[in-house]
Amino acid sequence: MRDFDKKALNKHSALKRRALGGLLSLSLLLSGAFGGTEALAQQKQEKDEFTYGDLIEKIEQGEVERVELDETEKVARVFLAEADSDKPIKVRLLDDNRELIRELREGRVDFAETSSANSRVAVSLLFNLMWILPLVTLMLLFLRRTTNASSQAMNFGKSKARFQIEAKTGIKFDDVAGIEEAKEELGEVVTFLKQPEKFTAVGARIPKGVLLVGPPGTGKTLLAKAIAGEAGVPFFSISGSEFVEMFVGVGASRVRDLFKKAKENAPCLIFIDEIDAVGRQRGAGIGGGNDEREQTLNQLLTEMDGFEGNNGIIIIAATNRPDVLDAALLRPGRFDRQVIVDAPDRKGRLSILQVHARNKKVDPSVSLEVVARRTPGFTGADLANLLNEAAILTARRRKETITQIEIDDAIDRLTIGLTLNPLLDSKKKRLIAYHEVGHALLATVLEHADPLNKVTIIPRSGGVGGFSQQTPNEEIIDSGLYSKAWLKDNITMTLGGRASEAEVFGDKEITGGASNDLKQVTNLARKMVTMFGMSNLGLVALESQNRDVFLGGDWGNRNEYSEDMATQIDKKVREIALSCYQEARQIMRENRPLLDRLVDLLIEQETIEGEQFRKIVSEYTKIPENKLVVST
């Protein structure tokens, strides 16, 4: 037991000695490491920097090559002759360094005084300029803008009319087609300017103004360009809206300035586009006598025919709202002539198509006569857009020339909408087919309805599931002389879609697809009763198409009949619609097998042309003679 305690005690003493020895070794290592680091740092400090006295000693020993004295930081940068690098050694200076300078001179050491304050000042100045320069730039821009504004204010009353000594519009009368009557009258204006003696010899007076009146897109501005191109005289062009500003008197000042320039260049032409912007009836608005538009109009009236004449100046103005112009503006002596530029007839449309087809690659098989026949009511702008759309479709389909297919598709696109993906075979597709075939069948069998061009169930944009297209009767459409038979047959044809749905699917399955048809039916039937005197209410015009443009829409219209008459009008309108609907259903009922065959064929082909449709119908029933041969 005692030996065991001795062994354990000896073992514990040995472990304790080993632990103390390890700690001592670790302390020696750490002290050596830190001591070495301090020694290295001290050696580096001694190498990179020494005291003032050391510097004096180095100078006396001739080891210094050059010294830079910085009085601002009180530092001397010493370059030793035997140094390994060009990096200077820094020495802290005293307040009085006369001894150092004397030693440098005696030792013939190059020295110079430098200052870091200069570089700091330069940096500070550059930093300040970084803020000052943008401010100066903004001030210069503001001053420049103010100068421009002041110069514009001085020219505020100047006319903005575009002036050309010789108008080179690139347009002649040969480039204007479809409005021959207007060209003839305006051709005299050109002759007035070129050969005035031809008219003055017989006492004729040169007209002062010509007003071009017509719907949008009929070529009023194009005619003005043609006059300018033909006359070869100085030409001013301006829009009516450019006279009117928010400041009272500016428009009148511009009118004076415009006529002043025109008199200096007489004989000349002035073209005012959209003159209704400045020539509206006075006193029709809310403003009083200081209204800007009235001031401008008064000045225009005075310049055109006031105390002073404007000989040699012919004014051409264009508008599509002659009903809003002031009466003083329209009287002879101001606008001596009013030239109507209306939508072209078939011959005019053909001429316009020929003009716009000059620069397009049109296939020889295309008949522009057919296109002109299919586009009643189209203006010159509409026809130009039609051929442009056909050209775009041709390029999209990678064809080299425009064919009749592209033109027909362009007409459908402009009049109905974009073509969408065909419907799948379903109940909806069959219902649409019965609806459209109902229209097409009545258009074929009714004597006075317009003949069918084609029927299709290919959907179009705008929610159009299909359509039945007719070839309009040009004589009726262009003249506006609607016969009672034509009106009733067209009402019956319009109700053909609803009648077909009711006969095939029953009254409980009819849809709202005939909503637009019912609007058209109501409009035609009401005109028959209230405007055309085609009812037993008598030969009286109970309503009119005049619209009060200052109140907007039909707000200003007043019914010239009693409430009892209004009830009778509604009753007659319903009687006409119901009578035509019963006739449509009767025709559907009598021709049900034909209706089913046409629907099956339409679902299969998706489009049936008019000639094919009439051929099938003729196998089942008699077709009026005027529908057997349809000119195309």
CA 141 to CA 143: how far, in whole Å? 5
Residue 387's nearest CA partner among 614, 547, 366 is 366
CA 572 to CA 577: how far, in whole Å? 9
CA 310 to CA 485: how far, in whole Å? 56
Q: How far is CA 227 from CA 171, 223, 353, 356, 418, in A?
A: 9, 6, 21, 20, 38
Q: Which residues on neighbouring strands pair with residue 69, listed in sequence order? A: 76, 113
CA 264 to CA 244: how far, in whole Å? 24
CA 270 to CA 283: how far, in whole Å? 27
Q: Which residue has the tokens 């006598």?
A: 289
> Which residue is catalytic, options 292, 303, 436, 474?
436
In the chain the first and final C-alpha atoms are separated, in Å, by 138
CA 358 to CA 629: how far, in whole Å? 32
Q: Which residues on neighbouring strands pair with residue 163, listed in sequence order? A: 236
What is the full DSSP assignment across 418-456? -B-PPPPSSHHHHHHHHHHHHHHHHHHHSSSSPPEEEEE
CA-based R_g, the chain, Å: 49
Per-residue exposure over 16-55, b if at least 16 CB sit within 10 Å of its own CB, e if not: eeeeeeeeeeeeeeeeeeeeeeeeeeeeeeeeeebeeeeb
Phi, psi of 9 (to 5 degrees): -65, -40
Strands 452-456 and 467-470: antiparallel
Phi, psi of 76 (to 5 degrees): -115, 130
**Other CB atoms within 10 Å distance of the CB of residue 205:** 10
436 in active site: yes
Catalytic residues: 436
